[in-house]
Chains A and B, each alone.
Chain A
């Protein structure tokens, strides 16, 4: 017989390295027509980070993400980056890109100040224009300003910057310190069906609510959550590297090492908590790794809710769940008074 259960799990997760410097550099070059090129030493690892970098630079320069080309992943041409690790790209590389774009923008403002006869600090970049703050009808097209910078004034706008999160290393004796710049938070709820005759667990749906600061691109955040739930599902129910007695792996292939397929995936309902972190670029933090963290235990908590057994060793395979159900029945039978 199938039993339905629900389980929840909350988590926290830090952004960046644990008390070690993990800086990122960035270069933003504004072209003659007001479009721009971003140089970053990080690499696209499938998560869509380069698009996020374009959106951050675009926001700072008042142009569209489509106006920006991102060059990445070359140690000869790109500035130093600690890399696509520790959920740090949006927060740390993003801050470097934002600062670099703002520096390039300052060079544009210097040129535009002469064109619009105001001080540079009275200007803002918006909608492909450099305009006077709270007086947007007084403006110059960003392309005209950039062209003038290149060909009249002789200051082609380039900005470079680097950023490293503020940290205090941990004391080796007590562990006291400020190891991270910021943290993110999340709660996931799983609904499962557990078959008490076979031990089989089917995850029906997962609701995943994540704080990532401001979502630079909500579509990509949702994509990361979906991917994280998929990985958490494997961690919770299927995946385990088995070793023989001499330390050799015995299921080192995808026939015997089972990862979830699309057919195993539950419906995922993603939610992005409204938040703004003042230390992140335009309020953004991270979502990459955290999306996987609470899934497995939300599932095992749901298994408890369904059939009353606590799984204390992952993965919760059918065999393990069935063994736990049988052990529970045996224990309950013993409790009948004589």
Chain B
């Protein structure tokens, strides 16, 4: 009996402590008004002294963030607002043969269904305009949207897209950037090549440079596709007024460009579009272009009600963009005293199914691929290819973290092989004010040597 009581008591204690910790975790969603510091200073600052640059000033939004009062896009709800869901293909390369939306349309609570064929200009992109808002009829990545629904709740919208029947004819596909280069590979956008952007930078004579080098180092480096993983997934709201003027609320970092893309895809003048950029809950480059906004606008127009669309975490992975995977070949010619005199770089970027910000990423990667070093003879060539994988786009660093991984890995290998201290080797080759880059740009404001010296001092790096 005592044992049973003991167990019950333990059980009770466990439940009680769980309940308490649960309560402790439940913070009020909105801080009670009495705690609002309505009296000035709203943002504590220095008084009369007005030297503003260099000041560790408190951010104007920090109090709202701290008190949970910041209104992110998902905190906005308009009267009568519907919720959209987009059906994802789930197959990487296919043709849509048949689509039956009748069951979804008959569902109570469903107000609008939209297919790609109903979009006035069903294609967008920041340089090469090649990405459909809803695939029609060719699917090029598993995350492609194929049909969209607006309903009174997110759950009904989800049930409706689940009820839509689609028949696909599977097509061949290509799933590796190097395979995509082969002549016989499947061509994601037709034509005779998957290469959609190339970049060449040449300075000096790289072969002569190699001939004059005492040692030559070669290396292959690879970096994978990664996800931005912002806390706030893509969310937007579309709302029309009686004059046919559209307001889009969106957590997009580039509202001016978004307005242009909305105008082009919807076929309405820019003066009839307003884009309100809400506080972005994490961007890291992933929210630099439209994603589903024209689809939401057309659903809202059909339904005669505002429509909100919110990506799930899985959609954030499969239907937004990712960082480009890079294959990089580095060949570097060095003198025995550690002067880099020639570098040849070849890189292939996996662009995924559509262009997005690939051209910019390729350009920056090629320019930066020499590293912050004076190299008189350079030859850099990069290309980005289509594959039937998730579209790669802009992500914090635009190719720079990838090439930095290659050039700084090789820099350490060179130092070790030559028996030169890695700091000394870098100091010997660093850009200085007036140095010339591989594109022929003369640099000013160069502080790379100072950054190394500061870091070494702060870290406490001792030569060994």
Using a CB–CB distance below 8 Å, which chain A residues touch chain B?
Answer: 6-14, 17-19, 41-46, 48, 50-51, 54-56, 58-59, 62-66, 69-70, 72-76, 80-86, 126-128, 170, 172-180, 182-183, 185-189, 191, 205, 207-211, 213-220, 228, 231-232, 234-235, 239-241, 243, 245-249, 252-254, 257, 259, 269, 271, 273-279, 282, 284-285, 288-290, 292-294, 296-298, 300-301, 304, 310-315
Chain B neighbourhood of A216, CB < 8 A: 53-54
A333–B60 Cα distance when bound, in Å, is 62
How far, in angstroms, from A239 to B404 measured CA to CA in the complex? 17
Interchain CB contact (< 8 A) of A51 among B60, B173, B322, B405: B60
Partner of B283, one of A84, A186, A248, A285: A84
Kindly name the residue among A82, A186, A187, A310 whose own CB sees the greatest number of chain B CB atoms within 10 A: A187
Q: Are the CB atoms of B426 and A10 closer together than 8 Å?
A: yes
Which residues of B approach A to under 8 Å, CB–CB?
A: 41-43, 45-61, 90-93, 141-143, 173, 175, 199-203, 219-227, 229, 252-257, 259, 273-285, 287-288, 313-314, 317-318, 322, 360, 363-364, 366-368, 371-372, 380, 387-390, 394, 396-398, 400-401, 404-405, 408-409, 412-413, 422-423, 426, 430-431, 438-441, 443-448, 450-452, 454-456, 458-459, 461
B-chain residues with CB within 8 Å of residue A84 when the two chains form the complex: 253-254, 280, 283
Q: Tell which of B257, B279, B288 touches A44, judged by Cβ atoms closer than 8 Å.
A: B279
Collect the chain B residues with CB atoms within 8 Å of residue A218's CB.
54, 56
Cβ of A323 to closest chain B Cβ, rounded Å: 15
> Contact partner of B404 among A9, A14, A75, CB < 8 A?
A9
The 7 closest A-B pairs by CB, nearest first: A175-B201, A83-B254, A73-B277, A247-B92, A252-B317, A58-B52, A185-B448
In the complex, which residues of chain A have a beta carbon less than 8 angstroms from the beta carbon of B387? 247
Complex Cα–Cα for A80 and B443 (A): 29
Q: In the bound complex, do residue A8 and residue B452 qualify as a contact, i.e. CB atoms below 8 Å apart? A: yes
User: Given A10-B452, A175-B202, do A43 and B279 touch, yes or no (CB 8 Å)?
Assistant: yes
A11-B371 in contact (CB<8A): yes
* Residues of chain B with a CB closer than 8 A to A314's CB: 222-224, 405
Q: Assess whether B413 is in contact with A215, with CB atoms less than 8 Å apart.
A: no
Cross-chain contact A180 with B441 (CB below 8 angstroms)? yes
Chain B positions within 8 Å of A304 at CB level = 412
In the complex, what's the smallest C-beta–C-beta distance from A45 to chain B, in angstroms? 4
How distant is the Cα of A187 from the Cα of B452 in the complex, in angstroms? 5
- Whether B450 pairs with A56 at a CB distance below 8 angstroms is no
Contact B389 A243 (CB under 8 A): yes
B275→A75 contact, CB < 8 A: yes
Instruction: Verify A214–B54 contact, CB threshold 8 A.
Output: yes
What residue in chain B is nearest A81 (Cβ atoms)?
B256
